[in-house]
């Protein structure tokens, strides 16, 4: 299994994005695991540019939707128009019909419109007026959102959040990185010259190869113990679902592939727990009012979960 093309993608993105190597790697984990990625942070830290750079590196069809309060579900999925001269209806494809869909500032629109992506993200299809249309393969949603504390945002419904394999925080650049950003963008925009280094067909092949990465019984047990602990924790109202367990396993396979291994390790799982599970947990009301965060709870769970021995093979 040769996943070296992923490093070409990462290097290509680094021509535009300064630093943020870990965020880029997590994006590729989501892509290889055939999932979707949610990028969250304050405006201006490069969420949209990172998504655009990944899309440009992969090639294939790419569409961007700017989410606004007046956006309608049909603006995403498409709609039927009546051709009066021909006496028939014709389906007008929405932007969801693409290999890579950038849902920019997804929490700027109302939950009803946000939820119009549920079928597409889970079943890779859209249904309009009773007719079902398959989406291109691969299909990858990259959504960006601002922190919910900002004015004019609508929290994503729990069912919507659960469809995202990973939630990735970008973070501010450090002083050295910010100096490099100013230097790099002073004369021209490097994104304008970014070329693709992979094809959708290659990505689809890698997604299939990822499934062959070995997940031993001890690693599966480790995943199960962690997820089960989120359901019994006294500070958590609703823990991660079986979809969360599968997301953690698929992500661990993808991370192992990127690290050049054909088997997963408990360290793969441990490294991804926060990104895969934190956005899936619903805390009790008292904990939310006290400002408790899922990240710290997951850290406590990881510290208590026994690390399996003999997890290879």
State the pTM of this model.
Answer: 0.87
What was the pLDDT predicted at 150? 58
* Residue 285: how many other CB atoms lie within 10 Å: 9
Query: How far is CA 82 from each of CA 87, 127, 131, rounded to the nearest angstrom?
Result: 7, 18, 15
What was the pLDDT predicted at 159? 81
- Whole-angstrom Cα distance, residue 113 to residue 13? 31
What was the pLDDT predicted at 1? 63
Tokens of residue 37, six digits: 């990625």
The answer to whether residues 155 and 107 touch, using CB atoms and an 8 Å cutoff, is: yes
What was the pLDDT predicted at 49? 85
What contacts 270, CB < 8 A, 6 or more positions away?
302, 307
Q: Which of these, 222, 231, 251, 230, lies nearest to 295 by C-alpha position?
A: 230
Residue range 213-304 forms a domain whose CATH class is: mainly alpha
What was the pLDDT predicted at 290? 83
What was the pLDDT predicted at 173? 86
The answer to whether residues 144 and 106 touch, using CB atoms and an 8 Å cutoff, is: yes
Q: Is 155 left (phi over 0), alpha (psi -120 to 50) or beta?
A: beta
Domain ranges of the chain: 5-204, 213-304
Query: How far is CA 109 from each of CA 112, 147, 152, rounded to the nearest angstrom?
Result: 8, 14, 9
What contacts 250, CB < 8 A, 6 or more positions away?
33, 34, 35, 165, 210
Tell me if domain 5-204 and domain 213-304 are identical in fold: no
- Whole-angstrom Cα distance, residue 126 to residue 121? 9
Residues of the chain with pLDDT under 50: none
Give the CATH number of domain 5-204: 3.40.50.300
Query: How far is CA 186 from each of CA 83, 181, 206, 267, 304, rounded to the nearest angstrom?
Result: 50, 8, 37, 40, 49
Rg (CA), the chain: 20
């Amino acid at each position: 299994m040769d996943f070296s093309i992923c490093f070409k993608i990462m290097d290509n993105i680094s021509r535009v994005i300064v630093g943020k190597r870990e965020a880029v790697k997590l994006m590729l984990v989501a892509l290889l695991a055939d999932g979707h990625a949610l990028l969250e942070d304050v405006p201006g830290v490069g969420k949209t540019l990172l998504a655009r750079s990944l899309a440009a590196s992969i090639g294939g069809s790419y569409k961007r939707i700017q989410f606004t309060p007046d956006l309608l579900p049909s603006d995403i999925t498409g709609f039927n128009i009546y051709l009066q001269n021909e006496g028939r209806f014709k389906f007008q494809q929405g932007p969801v019909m693409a290999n890579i869909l950038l849902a920019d500032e997804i929490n700027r629109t109302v939950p009803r419109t946000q939820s119009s992506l549920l079928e597409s993200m889970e079943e890779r299809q859209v249904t309009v007026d009773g007719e079902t249309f398959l989406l291109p393969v691969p299909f990858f949603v990259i959504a960006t959102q601002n922190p919910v504390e900002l004015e004019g945002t609508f929290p994503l419904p729990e069912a919507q959040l659960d469809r995202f394999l990973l939630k990735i925080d970008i973070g501010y650049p450090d002083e050295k990185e910010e100096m490099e950003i100013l230097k790099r963008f002073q004369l021209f925009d490097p994104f304008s010259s970014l070329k693709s280094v992979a094809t959708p067909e290659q990505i689809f092949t890698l997604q299939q190869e990822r499934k062959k990465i070995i997940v031993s019984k001890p690693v599966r047990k480790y995943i199960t113990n962690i997820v089960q602990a989120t359901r019994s924790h006294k500070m958590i109202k609703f823990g991660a679902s079986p979809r969360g367990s599968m997301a953690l396993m698929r992500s661990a396979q993808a991370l192992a592939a990127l690290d050049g291994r054909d088997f997963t390790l408990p360290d793969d799982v441990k490294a991804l727990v926060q990104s895969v599970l934190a956005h899936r947990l619903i805390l009790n009301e008292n904990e939310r009012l006290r400002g408790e965060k899922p990240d710290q709870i997951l850290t406590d769970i990881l510290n208590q979960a026994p690390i399996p021995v003999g997890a290879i093979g």
